[in-house]
Chain A
Amino acid sequence: MTWEPVATPESEPYWEGVRAGELRLPRCRECDRLFFYPRAFCPRCGSRDLAWETVDRGGTIASYVVVERPLPGIAEEVPYIVAIVELDAGVRVTSRLVDTKPAHDSSLLGAAVEVVFRPQGEAVLPCVALAEA
């Protein structure tokens, strides 16, 4: 893992939260919608009146792939698992499932996970790990 994300002004509060070990997302004060990915307005109602809140780190695996071919300069150690995670907070994100041995089956669908913060170069990433039973 070598690719490091860079924030824009609109997403800086999200990445600032990640560096502080929290998952912070914007919620619309007009229509109450929590949304991902960060923008400076609500993508449902257009309101610019937002509040950032720290959300629960729990979620489930909605879908995933097991990557077997390295991506030079981006992700060089294979195999690894990329997952779409349905966060309990009500948004979906793409993330990396860490600390789990990849297998070529669908047994991880629906598995409970929680966000864990991992360094990547100078950056920190919100990855996910299987939740403690």
Chain B
Amino acid sequence: MIKPGDIAIVGAAESERIGRVPDISAFGLAADAALRALDDAGLRLSDVDGFAAAMLQPHHLCHYLGVQARWVDGTHVGGCSYMLHVRHAAAALAAGLCDVVLVVHGESGRSRVGAPGWRVGPDSLVGQYEYPYGAASPPTTFTLPVLRFLEERGLGPEHLAQVVVAQRRWARDNPRAERREQVTVEDVLAAPMVSYPFTRDMICPLTDGGGALVLVRADRLASLEPRHAPVFLLGAGEATETALVSQMDDLTSFGAFRRSSADAFRDAGLRPDDIDHVMIYDAFAHLPLYGLEDCGFVERGAAGDFVADGHTSPGGRLPVNTNGGGLCYTHTGMYGMFAIQESVRQLRGTAAAQVTGVSVGFVQGVGGMFGAAGALILGNAAR
């Protein structure tokens, strides 16, 4: 298990530009973020000896950056891969396999410049059991269990819209956010329908961008001069669930959210009540509803009203997705890195929509279509 406070994030940065960046490749976005994160940490590329990346082949990216790594992790379980990288990096650092880990994301999700290919075979699992029916994109698969989720709780599409309304309030003051226009529930419901019950506004945009983290053992901190106070890893968890959305154990609760968050809370010796700030990976508006319940922030069935009553909005008692989330801030395809970045910013006190008094943050990622999950608990004190 993670020993709270043993591992520190000493560098964190996003690419200088996000959103629409047609003049920089996926590798270029990753490199820009990596150099900025190292600068933030007061370190150089030559200091890096541990390296993690997803989808972009880590050994190719190492060479691109001129990094010689003695520890490499290419875990690719979709958008939450970076949460898993942080957990794996913590284990590798603790075991002395390396001393300075760079976790890097770069994705040209909108402009598709230098982006790796994406091919689904007709004999793959999804090629046989989903694609033939037209269930062949996130809006047609990730969304499939949601009518059942809503029906069981006596909720409707307006509760998905409330998630968008809440997160637009956070995005309003964030100049880097993709969607900042303030909207009402009626506006969101009236947006063009993509896959009922999901309108366009309930689905993330597709963007370009990068992000990177630099991690070290806390016993190295005395010899470093990072630009910001360190953020400590207090707990982490990871879990897998399914290859096909129809095979979830329970269509109305995500087991990998439950298991990964439970492990993270166990490591940290904390409970949901102890958390000041929450990020829940939201490629679609239903994920914060699943996440609030599955991670234990509210009782099963209570998430819809919790969001609608404003508790996750600015001024609410549990700030959620304060960068605007994948729905409003940015979503390159594998958004997890940006959720971690916002958690770090809130703990450092440097967020665009800064919440006062954040000392412990929780980050929950999902990968694939209810395929995998990773959870992190971060703090600005080692405890």
Binds A, one of B19-27, B145-153, B260-268, B271-279: B145-153
**Known pairs A62-B148, A65-B144, A68-B195; A1 contacts B135 (CB<8 A):** no
Interface residues of A in 62-111 (CB under 8 A from B): 62-69, 71, 74-75, 80, 82-84, 92-96, 102, 104, 106, 109
Chain B nearest CB from A28 CB (Å) reads 16
- A63 contact from B123, B131, B133, B251, Cβ within 8 A: B251
Q: In the assembled complex, which residues on chain B have CB atoms less than 8 Å from the CB atom of A4?
A: 122, 132
* Chain B: minimal CB distance from A93 (Å): 6
Contacts of B129 in A (CB 8 A): 5, 37, 93-94
Contacting residues of chain B (127-149) with chain A, CB-CB under 8 angstroms: 127-137, 139-141, 143-149
Q: Which residue of A lies closest to B194 (CB)?
A: A69
CB neighbours of A104 from chain B (8 A): 193, 196-197
Stretch at the interface among B8-16, B95-103, B179-187, B241-249: B241-249
Q: Are A82 and B132 in contact (CB under 8 A)?
A: no
Closest chain A CB from B172 CB (angstroms): 28
Kindly provide the distance from the CB of A86 to the nearest chain B CB, expressed in whole angstroms.
9
| B132 x A125 contact (CB < 8 A) | yes
Contact mask for chain A residues 1-25; partner B; CB cutoff 8 A; 1 contact, 0 none: 1011111100100010000000000
What's the minimum C-beta distance from B7 to chain A, rounded to whole angstroms? 35
Residue ID in chain B nearest A68 by CB atoms: B193
Q: Does A55 contact B (CB under 8 A)?
A: no
The answer to whether B281 has its CB under 8 Å from any CB of chain A is no
Q: For residue A6, which residues in chain B have a CB less than 8 angstroms away from its CB?
A: 121-123, 127-128
Interface residue count on the A side (C-beta < 8 Å): 39
Query: Known: A5-B127, A66-B196. Contact between A80 and B150, CB under 8 A?
Result: no
* CA–CA, A107 and B152, complex, Å: 13
What residues of B have a CB within 8 angstroms of the CB of A123 in the complex? 132
B1 contacts A by Cβ under 8 Å: no
- Distance in Å from the Cβ of B56 to the closest Cβ of chain A? 26
Residues of A near B139 (CB, < 8 A) are: 65, 67, 69
Contacts of A67 in B (CB 8 A): 134, 139-140, 195
* B383 vs chain A, min Cβ distance (A): 41
Residue on B with the closest CB to A74?
A: B136
Cβ of A68: which chain B residues have Cβ within 8 Å of it?
192-196
Interface residues of B in 187-227 (CB under 8 A from A): 192-198
Contacts known (A84-B251, A93-B246); A71 close to B134, Cβ less than 8 A: yes
Q: Does B125 contact A (CB under 8 A)?
A: yes
- Given A5-B123, A37-B125, A84-B246, answer yes or no on A63-B134 (Cβ-Cβ < 8 Å): no
Choose from B122, B128, B140 the contact partner of A82 (Cβ within 8 Å). B140
- What CA separation (Å) do A102 and B149 show in the bound complex? 20
Alpha-carbon distance A93/B128, docked complex (angstroms): 11
Q: Complex Cα distance A92/B145, Å? A: 12
Chain A contacts of B251 at CB under 8 A?
Answer: 62-63, 84
Nearest-neighbor residue (CB-CB) of A123 within chain B: B132
Contacts of B132 in A (CB 8 A): 1, 3-5, 120, 123, 125
Task: Note all chain B residues with C-beta closer than 8 A to A8.
Answer: 123, 128
Q: Which one of A1, A7, A36, A67 has the greatest number of beta carbons of chain B within 10 Å?
A: A67
Judging by beta carbons under 8 Å apart, are A63 and B145 in contact?
yes
A64 touches B144 (CB 8 A): yes
Residue of A nearest to B143 (CB): A65
Partner of B148, one of A37, A63, A80: A63
Cβ of B196: which chain A residues have Cβ within 8 Å of it? 65-66, 68, 102, 104
Per the bound structure, the CA–CA distance linking A2 and B147 in Å amounts to 26
Q: Say whether A127 contacts B246, CB under 8 Å.
A: no
**7 A-B pairs with the lowest CB-CB distances in the bound complex, closest first:** A75-B134, A63-B148, A66-B196, A6-B123, A6-B122, A96-B133, A65-B195
Q: List 6 A-B contacts (CB under 8 A).
A: A37-B128, A65-B198, A74-B131, A82-B140, A94-B135, A125-B132
Given known contacts A65-B197, A102-B196, what 11 new A-B pairs fall within 8 Å (CB)?
A: A3-B127, A3-B131, A6-B128, A11-B128, A62-B145, A64-B144, A67-B139, A74-B134, A109-B147, A109-B148, A125-B133
